[in-house]
Amino acid sequence: VDAFSQQWNASKYVFSETKSGFGVSYTPYLSKLVNDIFLGNLTYFNRLDERSAFGVSLRYFSLGDIEFIDRPEDPARIQRPNELSLDASYALRLSDQFAMSVAMRYLRSDLRLQVDGQDVSAASTFGVDISGYYQSEEEAYADFNGRWRGGFAIQNIGPKYKYDDGGIENFQPTNLRLGGGFDFIFDDYNKVAVTAEITKLLVPTPPRYGFVDADDDGEFDRGDEEVVIVEGQDPDVSFLSGMFQSFGDAPGGFSEELKEFTWALGAEYVYQDSFAFRAGYFNEAEEKG
């Protein structure tokens, strides 16, 4: 369990061996090109008792300063697109080995750039995460002790958002994540964990559009209906309908649905609960990435 479990599965907090934790991270992006694009993260959690815990976090993504100049003699106009999210979670242990949590999230996305007096404003909405986490008791094997782990999370459940009154509504990146792992505990100083995870994006797949060929000549001409869905389903649905629709709406059928799953493997070596070495592998279909 670490402080940043808030971003993945807040249910883990009730299994923490420490009462509270605090995490700060700063990740530069494209640092060889610019020096002001970064992702910052601030997280705190507190285990209230043996059965419950809460956590709060703030994430901020800055795209840096972007200069706009209409004419060479005009002064530059500076805009600073950014995104942020503010989270609060509560986790409850339902048994000795299983816990669930709910996280509420406020999201604000200010990515649209003000050009030529357009009606552009920041988009904001709210989201919910629901997660569960299982951790077995430590068991003794021939040469080591071991512990099984498993979990699920449905993240970013919430209404669509748009940047202006007449803009297109956008789905939140709702995800279903399923994962499991095993901890090899060799002694008090050395531990190795192996994990596996699959993820499915729970938003509608864009359909294929075409036209109705009224005279069956294979060409679009007068009398043909211009834009219709020829494969797939209409993506203009509510976020809840979109979550269920996402399991069977791919234009390419079941084979394309399978390509919408990503999977990952990971391994971690920890020494004295202070130093860690991690490696992982991530796979997704090229046409979906």
Which carries the bigger pLDDT value, residue 79 or residue 191?
A: 191
Q: What is the pLDDT of residues 161-189, one digit of tens each?
A: 887 766 678 899 999 999 999 999 999 89
Q: What is the mean pLDDT of the chain?
A: 87
Q: What is the pLDDT of residues 233-287, one digit of tens each?
A: 888 899 999 999 999 888 888 888 899 999 999 999 999 888 999 999 999 998 8
Per-domain boundaries in the chain: 1-137, 174-289
Average pLDDT over residues 134-162: 93
Q: How far is CA 227 from CA 11, 208, 212, 220, 251, in A?
A: 46, 10, 8, 11, 16
| Whole-prediction pTM | 0.83
pLDDT at 4: 87
Q: Residue 122 corresponds to which tokens in the numbers above?
A: 């920041």
pLDDT at 75: 74
pLDDT at 226: 64
Q: Residue 49 corresponds to which tokens in the numbers above?
A: 């008792």
Which residue type occupies 95? S
| Residue 12 neighbours by CB distance under 10 Å | 23
With a CB cutoff of 8 Å and minimum separation 6, the contacts of 168 are 162
Residue 194 has pLDDT above 90, yes or no: yes
pLDDT at 14: 93
